[in-house]
Amino acid sequence: MNKTKNILMIGLLAIGVSNCLPEGAVPTPCVGSCNSSSSSSSSSSSSSSSSSSSSSSGGQAITNIAPYAFVTASGYNTNGVKYYPLHIKDGLLGDSSNWNHSVTWVVRDNIDQSWIELTWATPVIIQSMDLYDLATDHQITSGEVSYAAAESSVFLPAVHFNELNNDGMTARKIAGPGNVEVKSARIKIFNHRGDHAGLNEVVVYGYRVASKAKQVASTTNLAQHAKVTAASSVYDENSSSHIKVLSPTNTPVGPDNFINLAGDYSARYTTDGNPDTFWVSQNGANTFIELELDQPACISKVYLQDMTWNGILLSNDILYLGRFRHAKVIVNGEKIFEKSKNNDNDYEIIVDTDPAIAKDVKKIRIELSDIYGHSQSNVGLKDIHITPCPS
């Protein structure tokens, strides 16, 4: 199976095609020394999905903290479809039957200098990390993970790893820095097999240090450190059975329950800081999205970037979108802050909160209403910016 040809076809097809995953590819058998681990590695053993999600350290539970990291990368494949960096923390795994452009990160150019980095809002403790390779015959064959110390920003000695498991569904475990507080983890690719490389998913076992969790820099966008936990149904939802969900024990399971997260217009894209990606709901005046933080934070403003008038390219048609005049922000399920646009031409709403009330926020629900424009049903958001309270 020629995956390179396949990805080019996907790119051509995907100029606007977004309501289906590419077809035509079949599961590719593992070729070459797929399970080789002949050379030594300083990383720990390679092939088991970790099951830890509830052990504790220092009184804080060890969980997957990847969803609460902001993800940046040296680049991503923009060949028609977009293999965005944030796909490594969406809890979704694509299988080997296609490229799964909406749940994987893929690089195409300068592969062996490529990197992807997870950064947390405040210091974290990391016990270990699971890396899931792309589920294609293209494979990362060596690399390293380096962790930046929270206090000094100096990178700790890197942890080298050899080839990732080529099935894309089996993790390779990488050692963490243990008790040293860090603020980011950078995964670098040194060698690969095939024409592309990337990751299906990254799971990071650790916790954000609770005693320092309020020391958020004023420039931090807390939305980028929040997990999208629920949203109105998504236009053009992608219901492919090729996508698996990482369960709470980080085992790939069936395609249930991933609505609103997979797909090209999913709710994830409101938290990536990228105005070119967006969430489109088809619920009109009942549109909502819910975000969750791993540690309580004080929030002072919620900035909502509306869609533009012009609509978005969908398959061969333009989908003309509605817009919203009114936004309601509900924190921790009880306190409500709201705001209306002054002018229908405004492309944003900034909802101010009361820091005396919104001081220990973990859950943020945003409701959009008073719809106008080209559609009474399809509204959405390009991006969300949540500003922490001044320290």
Taking residue 14's Cβ as centre, other Cβ atoms within 10 Å add up to 19
- Closest approach, Cβ 187 to Ca ion, in A, equals 14
Cβ nearer to Ca ion, comparing 90 with 144: 90
- Closest approach, Cβ 7 to Ca ion, in A, equals 17
DSSP string, 357-383: TTTSEEEEEEEEEEEEES-SS-EEESE
Of the candidates 161, 195, 182, the one whose C-alpha atom is nearest the C-alpha of residue 118 is 182
Cβ nearer to Ca ion, comparing 117 with 201: 201
Cβ nearer to Ca ion, comparing 189 with 389: 189
Q: Which residues of 251-281 are buried (b: 16+ CB within 10 A; e: fewer)?
A: ebeeeeebbbbbbbbbbbbbbbbeeebbbbb
Cβ nearer to Ca ion, comparing 28 with 221: 221
Of the candidates 80, 83, 36, the one whose C-alpha atom is nearest the C-alpha of residue 196 is 83
- Closest approach, Cβ 274 to Ca ion, in A, equals 4
- Closest approach, Cβ 293 to Ca ion, in A, equals 18
Q: How far is CA 317 from CA 18, 206, 240, in A?
A: 11, 45, 22
What span, in angstroms and rounded, lies between the C-alpha atoms of 16 and 301? 34
Cβ nearer to Ca ion, comparing 150 with 262: 262
Cβ nearer to Ca ion, comparing 90 with 130: 90
Of the candidates 136, 255, 134, 132, the one whose C-alpha atom is nearest the C-alpha of residue 201 is 132
Cβ nearer to Ca ion, comparing 122 with 266: 266
List all residues 6 or more positions away from 378 whose beta carbon is below 8 Å from its beta carbon: 235, 280, 281, 282, 284, 319, 320, 321, 322
Cβ nearer to Ca ion, comparing 272 with 294: 272
What span, in angstroms and rounded, lies between the C-alpha atoms of 253 and 243? 9
- Closest approach, Cβ 202 to Ca ion, in A, equals 8
Chain positions contacting Ca ion, by CB under 5 A: 87, 90, 92, 103, 201, 269, 272, 274, 277, 383
- Closest approach, Cβ 301 to Ca ion, in A, equals 18
The number of CA neighbours under 13 Å toward the Cβ of 29 is: 2
What span, in angstroms and rounded, lies between the C-alpha atoms of 38 and 15? 42
The residue number with the shortest CB distance to Ca ion is: 277
- Closest approach, Cβ 149 to Ca ion, in A, equals 28
- Closest approach, Cβ 105 to Ca ion, in A, equals 8
